[in-house]
């Protein structure tokens, strides 16, 4: 557990209330923004996370059912 000063905790609570988020979410967002600004490396995805992302992408509907060759032929048609 991290002990925060009353001033820091009050600031986090005010910001959370203004954004209608939890205090934890506000603190996490602030830390993630700071980590990005400092160019800290992000945690690598696990195998399960990668498989879930692939399954989500594979489940997306196809926008154009034609083959790539048919699409290119249509683009190049006079």
Domain region containing 42: 6-76
pLDDT mean values, one per 10 residues, the chain (78 residues): 90 93 93 84 86 89 84 87
Query: Tell me, what's the pLDDT at 11?
Result: 93
How many folded domains does the chain comprise? 1
Note the pLDDT of residue 42.
73
> Residue 3 and residue 19: Cα distance in Å, rounded?
23
- In this structure, is residue 55 part of a structural domain? yes
Report yes or no on 72 lying in a domain: yes
How far is residue 47's CA from residue 70's CA, in Å, rounded to a whole number? 35
In a domain, 67, yes or no: yes
Residue 59 lies in a domain: yes
Q: Could you tell me if residue 1 is inside a domain?
A: no
Distance separating alpha carbons of residues 73 and 41, to the nearest angstrom = 43
Global pTM reads 0.49
- CB of 47 within 8 A of CB of 57? no
Separation CA 64–CA 70 (nearest Å): 10
Q: Given this model, what pLDDT does residue 25 score?
A: 93
What's the confidence (pLDDT) of residue 66?
87
């Amino acid at each position: 557990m991290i002990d925060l000063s009353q001033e820091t905790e009050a600031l986090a609570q005010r910001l959370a209330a203004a954004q209608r988020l939890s205090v934890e979410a506000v603190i996490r967002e602030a830390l993630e923004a700071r980590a990005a600004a400092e160019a800290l490396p992000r945690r690598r995805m696990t195998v399960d996370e990668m498989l879930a992302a692939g399954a989500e992408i594979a489940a997306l509907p196809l926008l154009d059912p034609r083959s790539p060759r048919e699409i290119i032929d249509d683009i190049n048609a006079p």
